[in-house]
Amino acid sequence: MTRPAIARIALNRPLRRLFDYLIPDSLELASGQRVTVPFGRQTLTGLVVEIGVEPPPGVNLKAIKGTLEAWPALPDNTFNLLTWASDYYQHPLGECLFTALPPALRRGRPAQEKADESWHPAATEAALPANAHRQVALFNAIKESPGISSSALVKAGFSRAQIRSLEQKELIIEGAKALTSPVTEDLPAPTLSAAQQAASAQMPEHTHEFSATLLYGITGSGKTELYLHYLKTHLKANEQALVLVPEINLTPQTLARFRRYFGDRIQVWHSALNDGERLSAWLKIRNGEPVILIGTRSAVLLPFNHLRTIIVDEEHDSSYKQGEGFRYSGRDVAVYRAHLNGCPVILGSATPSLESWHNAQQGKYQLVRLEERAGNAKPPQLELLDIRSRPLEAGLSRPTLNSIKETLGRGEQALVFVNRRGFAPVMMCFDCGHLEECPRCDTRLTYHRRDHAMRCHHCDFQMAASHTCPKCQSENYKPVGQGTERTEDTLAEQFPDTPIVRVDRDSTQRKGSIQAILKRVNTGEPCILVGTQMLAKGHDFPNVTLVCVVNADGGLFSVDFRAPEQMIQTLLQVSGRAGRGEKPGKVLIQTCHSDHPLLTNLCQGNYAAIADQLLAERKTGALPPYRPMAIVRAEADTMQNSLQLLDTLKPMAQSPGIEIWGPLPAVIARKADRHRAQLILCSDSRGHLNRVLTQLCQYLDQARLPSSTRWVVDVDPQETG
Ligand code: ADP
Ligand code: ZN
Ligand code: ZN
């Protein structure tokens, strides 16, 4: 056999094509391997996709410069997963493959860690003289963030000599050594309640066969305990596991629970890691170390090679779908990965996505129900409060305020859910009717009182707020509607002696601030939490016994077909924060539509019944999950250009078995001065839809479009608006 002389290389470019290079004689290559190649005047990092391809006739190919390491950065299973995802989501292969590399390796850096030691505590207390303040502080810093690097400690003001001194006293231990001699005790699996045991008995066998299980466990039922138990009893000492969590769920609490049982086997992967930490975690996974990786969406793409279990917690969470670029769903890729790998995948939620619920009904997923709360906790009582003709205090009714007062009086905590950050979503002139709009988007500006600014939540526009109407100078210019800041102010007036803790994107921007907030709440002292969705997700506050929803009506009449599902999920999740400890919980939902069937069903607390009802509606509308859907979105400097592009595509997409809606302007037709339109495609056959999309992409790649026109294909879209 003659040596293959040509290799096809993927580059980290948004191009739907690969590049051919000659393989120099001395070079051994495998697919998934990193190479350096000349590209124009630059040298780029590439990934080998195929070897031994026929050279195109009459083209002078350049040669690969060299390899970056002797082994493939992406082993076959990961490579195949990404190739599949590139095709399924219609995203260029190069960018898909590079997503699975840590930033340092994308830039062509060597696949080695910098020699920066990481430190772990080797004792529970520091037996140090009382006057050794700095050393005690250093010990505590390491105890608080095990694995912290020398350079981070130096940055925090400690000296290398102090670190050495603690090491000599055997109070701390270097990371590499800590791994071989874990300091955490090896706990047995957690003790399960009777209901948890029954659920646990139905969990999948740990075989080398694919299985998908939907764990429908109500809020506070102890799903985490079940995951821990599953891993503890099934995962062998040399195997890898992946636990996917939504962005916000990566709280120190959850992490601490996993670390208690698995010590240093636990690795994390999320957007706040720096490049060094990412490279380090990536290398452990690629080297096959028996890690249990707790990570957000992109963790599903990492190059595991002994992956034996995948768990997707809060599988309904919309943050699993990437909203730009490579628009994959971490949950769906996880299921496919388990299928490729031949291993179990467990999807857990109190409010499963309709997709997963449907799969369970079809028998594609095994359904495990856990419908009791753990410990002595009972499910909360939900109550609708019709606010149509009630006087409101900045959006809060008298009965709501009274309930908060009673809760605080019993020494307990209350949580108030508002679906908008800022002070008020609209500023309006009551003389001339003027509404302050974003100059760049078709939306209103939100008034932020803390920094006296008007902000657009859809682009980065902001300006100083004015006291008078910008149009008629009237002083009758007022905020309308509720935001978290306004609710916080009202509650501070009503309860001057109680701490109010606001949790939204604005109040948690600084690194570590959410942790500080949660710590405070977890002391259990009476307080009122005010916040957005961020509060709905996964938190376990045992002393919160009352949850108030300021306005439940947002999703009832939206044009987006997923809005009712998402609204119900959020309401049930936020309700699930009440009564998780010993004391019973109550939920008050303010609404103007207290007879709406979705809301009345919600109060029965029976998500299964609601999911069935919502699925029936999806079936009638022939919507996902009954038919796959994709959206082609276009944006341009005029609406006409956007619509025109989609109009050209429409006849190309038209074929038997494809239903097309649009082109239509998006709900927010103008965003950051770009005019947006969309073409929605549905089909009975995913394969057919995929082929049509491939053709559209091929056409679009070659089409001469006005320079400012952009397009994107979104498969299984989360938002249709
Ligand atoms: P979920 O994720 O299902 O909402 P969690 O896993 O956060 O629930 O568990 C809720 C609470 O119940 C946690 O405080 C947890 O420590 C506690 N818990 C879970 N299982 C048990 C158990 N078997 N016995 C006692 N407490 C438990
Ligand atoms: Zn006016
Ligand atoms: Zn804007």
Domain boundaries of the chain, sorted by first residue = 6-106, 124-178, 194-370, 381-424+481-617, 629-715
- Closest-CA residue, ligand 1 atom 5, reads 222
Q: Is the predicted pLDDT of residue 605 greater than 90, yes or no? A: no
Long-range contacts formed by 660-665: CB under 8 A, 24+ apart: 663/634, 665/639
Among 46-55, 155-164, 170-179, the minimum mean pLDDT is found in: 170-179
Provide the whole-model pTM. 0.88
The candidate with the shortest Cα–Cα distance to 271, out of 250, 288, 285, is 250
| Residues 326, 99 contacting (CB under 8 angstroms) | yes
Q: Whose CA is nearest to atom 16 of ligand 1?
A: 222
Binding residues for Zn(2+): 429, 432, 438, 441, 456, 459, 469, 472
- Closest ligand 1 atom, residue 192 Cα: 23
Determine how β-strand 674-683 pairs with β-strand 658-671. antiparallel
Ligand 1 contact, 149 CB (< 6 A): no
Q: Which residue's CA is the closest to the ligand 1 atom numbered 4?
A: 220
Over the chain, what is the mean pLDDT?
Answer: 90
Alpha-carbon distance of 564 to 351, in angstroms, equals: 13
Region 564-577 average pLDDT: 92
Phi, psi of 68 (to 5 degrees): -90, -25
Strand, helix or coil for residue 645: helix
What pLDDT, on a 0 to 100 scale, did the predictor assign at position 666?
Answer: 94
CA–CA gap between residue 294 and residue 313 (Å, rounded): 10
SS3 for 98-161 is HHCCCHHHHCCCCCCCCCCCEEEECCCCCCCCCCCHHHHHHHHHHHHCCCEEHHHHHHCCCCHH
Name the CATH superfamily housing domain 194-370: P-loop containing nucleotide triphosphate hydrolases (3.40.50.300)
DSSP per-residue codes, 607-640: HHHHHHHHHHHHHHTT-TTSS-EEEEEEEESSHH
Cβ atoms of 699 and 692 closer than 8 Å: no
pLDDT digits (tens, 9 = 90+) for 444-454: 999 999 999 99
Q: Which fold has domain 629-715?
A: Alpha-Beta Plaits (3.30.70)
CA of 489 to the centre of ligand 2 (A): 26
Confidence of residue 186 (pLDDT cuts 50, 70, 90): low
> What's residue 181's pLDDT?
38
Enumerate the known binding-site residues. 429, 432, 438, 441, 456, 459, 469, 472
CB 327 within 8 A of CB 714: yes
pLDDT in tens, 303-356: 999 999 999 999 999 999 999 999 999 999 999 999 999 999 999 999 999 999
Residues with Cβ within 8 Å of residue 449, at least 6 apart in sequence: 422, 423, 465, 479, 485, 486, 489
- Biggest CA pair distance of the chain: 86
In three-state secondary structure terms, 200 is: helix
Which residues lie below 8 Å from residue 152, measured CB to CB, with a gap of 6+? none
Ligand closest to the CA atom of residue 459? 3
pLDDT class of 115 with cuts at 50, 70, 90: low
Buried b (16+ CB within 10 A) or exposed e, 173-207: bebeebbeeeebeeeeebebbebbeebbeebbebe
Ligand 3: centre distance to CA 573 (Å): 30
For 381, list phi and psi in degrees, rounded to 5.
Answer: -90, 125
Residue 575: partners with Cβ closer than 8 Å, 6 or more residues away: 219, 380, 382, 547, 549, 587, 589, 605
Q: Which of 224, 260, 574 to mutate to test the pocket of ligand 1 (most atoms within 8 A of CB)?
A: 224
Q: Which ligand is nearest to the CA of 428?
A: 2
125-134 long-range CB contacts below 8 Å, 24 or more apart? 126/166, 126/171, 127/171, 128/169, 128/171, 134/158, 134/162
The CATH architecture to which 6-106 belongs is 3-Layer(aba) Sandwich (3.40)
Q: Which residue has the higher pLDDT, 88 or 524?
A: 88
* pLDDT (0 to 100) of residue 2: 54
Kindly state if the Cβ of 624 falls inside 6 Å of ligand 1.
no
Ligand that comes closest to the CA of residue 672: 3
- Distance, in Å, from the CA atom of 254 to the CA atom of 539, rounded to the nearest integer, reads 9
Rounded Cα gap, residues 448 and 457, in angstroms: 11
From residue 231, alpha-carbon distances to 13, 46, 149, 264, 387 in Å are 39, 37, 29, 15, 47
Over residues 485-535, the pLDDT tens digits come to 999 999 999 999 999 999 998 988 876 777 788 888 888 899 999 999 888
Give yes or no on whether 6-106 and 194-370 have one common fold: no
CATH topology of domain 381-424+481-617: Rossmann fold (3.40.50)
Instruction: Tokens 């009972």: give the residue.
Output: 378
CA of 457 to the centre of ligand 2 (A): 23
pLDDT, average across residues 57-85: 91
Q: Is residue 475 scored above 80 in pLDDT?
A: yes
Res 176 pLDDT > 70: no
Q: What percent of the chain has pLDDT above 90? A: 68
Residue 183 has pLDDT above 60, yes or no: no
Alpha-carbon distance 216 to 358, whole Å? Answer: 13
Ligand 1 neighbour 225 (Cβ under 6 A): yes
Which residue's CA is minimally distant from atom 14 of ligand 1?
Answer: 540
The verdict on the CB of residue 540 being under 6 Å from ligand 1 is yes
Which residues lie below 8 Å from residue 340, measured CB to CB, with a gap of 6+?
A: 77, 80, 81, 84
Tokens 């276009």 belong to residue = 634
The DSSP secondary-structure symbol of 494 reads H
Find all residues with CB under 8 Å of 76, minimum gap 6, and list them.
31, 32
| 5 vs 591: which has the higher pLDDT | 591
Residue 71 has pLDDT above 60, yes or no: yes
Residue 1 has pLDDT above 60, yes or no: no
Mean pLDDT of 52-75: 86
Q: Is 221 in the pocket of ligand 1 (CB under 6 A)?
A: yes
CA 435–ligand 2 middle distance (angstroms) = 9
CB 303 near ligand 1, within 6 Å: no
223 lines ligand 1 (CB under 6 A): yes
Q: What is the DSSP string of 385-416?
A: EE-TTS-EETTEEHHHHHHHHHHHHTT-EEEE
pLDDT for position 152 = 85
Tell me how crowded residue 480 is: count the other CB atoms within 10 A of its CB.
13
Per DSSP (E only), the strands in 165-228 are 172-174, 211-217
